[in-house]
Structure 1
Amino acid sequence: MTSNKFQVTSKKHGFTLIELLIVITIIGILAVAVLSAINPIEQIRRATDQGLESDAAEALNAMERYYTAFFEYPWDALGEADPSQTLVQGSWITELVNKGEVKPQFADRDSWDSIYTTLAGSVVRLCFDPASSSFQEQADTAGKNKDGSSGCTSNCYVCIPR
């Protein structure tokens, strides 16, 4: 038996360029399908709405604690009129901070130009216009106007308390 030292063996190591392009194309198609399924813009809007809802709930809790401690709301202590579809005022938040109802960082939130306050009788409602479709559906189902009253049929607001 003789062996040829110069015999070429063809062993394939790795992928060809065509195979790599096909795999990259398939990954790209899957990425587009996943991104269109999760709709990142809707996710951002939903996160914004959740932040607004959280800030409104915390502000309402702080106002109720303030009322329990001082027998008046922050706007009363500041000599301001009762709110009726009024944006949350920086002076109210400052008063809540000064009395220790919220931390100073709470005043720095970007939410205050989107949350409306209404005092109706003895009930304070904080409402915001939702941006995400899921929050909008909840708002339209609840049927709340900007002042928290019922009867809205479209472009409704999310209100705290519900």
Structure 2
Amino acid sequence: MKKKFLHGFTLIELLIVIALLGALAVGLLAALDPFEQLKKGNDTSVRNLVSEVHGSVIRYYALKSLMPYCDDAACTADTLPSGDTLTTVVMSTAVSSIVTTGELKSNFQSLAGNNLQRVFATGTSDSIRVCFQPTSKSFRCDPNTKYDVYGVDDATCPGAACGTSTTCYWCVQ
């Protein structure tokens, strides 16, 4: 008489393992929240853009002894940015001046793309505040997200409702 040796798993055992793996995958997906991760990635990109713009304006000021949005004579109310995005005439002219001095890459505006509209600048004749409004919950709850669009401290930010706030900005000064 021949002995039968059964090797491997039965169909039922395989289905149970697949069901358990599926349940774990669903739990992991719910815990990670992929849309929040996308928002966090976008916010990180814009935060880096904010820091790059701020640093380049400071370096420009160190080279020229005036801000890039001021003409050679002096800053006027018309040339000072006040909560302006980088796509406004004042700031796009300033960015062009910064590019000309070599403090930003020549393709800076094309690389930044639509993120230029998410960055806000407010300046004086000797200082600049550059801000953006975060979309991810983790950035909205960041301790540095405590300013208004002009880079002025806002006592209500981040606060208890930081996850839903639409008036708080992350700024570099």
Q: Could you say which residue in structure 1 is the equivalent of 2:44?
A: 50
What stretches of structure 1 of length at least 5 have no aligned partner?
A: 1-6
- Taking only aligned residues, the RMSD between alpha carbons, in angstroms, comes to 2.1
Is residue 57–residue 160 contact of structure 1 (8 Å, CA) maintained in 2? yes
Normalised TM-score (structure 2): 0.80
For 2:61 and 2:149, locate their aligned partners in 1 and report how far apart those are by CA, in whole Å: 23
User: Structure 1 residue 97 and structure 2 residue 93: aligned?
Assistant: no
Structure whose alpha-carbon radius of gyration is higher: 1
- State the partner residue of 2:132: 128
C-alpha distance in 1 between matches for 2:148 and 2:155: 5
Question: 1:149 aligned to 2:152?
Answer: yes
> Match for 2:122: what amino acid?
T
Alpha-carbon distance in 2 for matches of 1:26, 1:104: 53
- Three-state SS of the structure 2 residue aligned to 1:104 is coil
The alignment partner of 2:103 has SS state of coil
Q: Distance in 2 between matches of 1:17 and 1:10?
A: 18
Counterpart of 2:81 in structure 1 is 83
Alpha-carbon deviation of 1:93?
2.2
Match of 1:16 in 2: 10
Q: Normalised by the size of structure 1, how large is the TM-score?
A: 0.85
Question: What letter corresponds to residue 147 of structure 1 in structure 2?
Answer: Y
Contact (CA 8 Å) 1:84, 1:117: kept in 2 or not? yes
Q: Tell me by how many angstroms 1:67 deviates.
A: 1.0
Between the aligned partners of 1:106 and 1:8, the Cα distance in structure 2 is 77
Could you say which residue in structure 2 is the equivalent of 1:4? Answer: none
Question: Could you tell me which amino acid in structure 2 is paired with residue 151 of structure 1?
Answer: D
Cα deviation digits, residues 3-58 of structure 1 (max 9, x gap) = xxxx3322112222211111111111111111111211111111111111111111
- 2:39, 2:81 → 1: CA distance? 27
Deviation at 1:150, TM superposition (A): 1.5
Letter in 2 for 1:84: S
Structure 2: give runs of 5+ residues left out of the alignment: 157-164
Aligned to 2:161: none
* Residue 115, structure 1, aligned to residue 122, structure 2: no
Shift of 1:138: 1.9
Secondary structure at the residue paired with 2:120? strand
Tell whether 2:160 aligns with 1:158.
no
SS of 1:8's partner is coil
Q: Tell me, in whole angstroms, the C-alpha distance in 1 between the residues paired with 2:95 and 2:126.
A: 20
Contact 2:67–2:125 (Cα < 8 Å) also in 1: no
For residue 147 of structure 1, give the secondary structure of its aligned residue in structure 2.
coil
Q: Contact (CA 8 Å) 1:145, 1:152: kept in 2 or not?
A: no
Q: May I ask how many residue pairs the two structures share in their alignment?
A: 154
Report sequence identity in percent: 31
Which residue among 106, 109, 114 is the counterpart of 2:108? 106
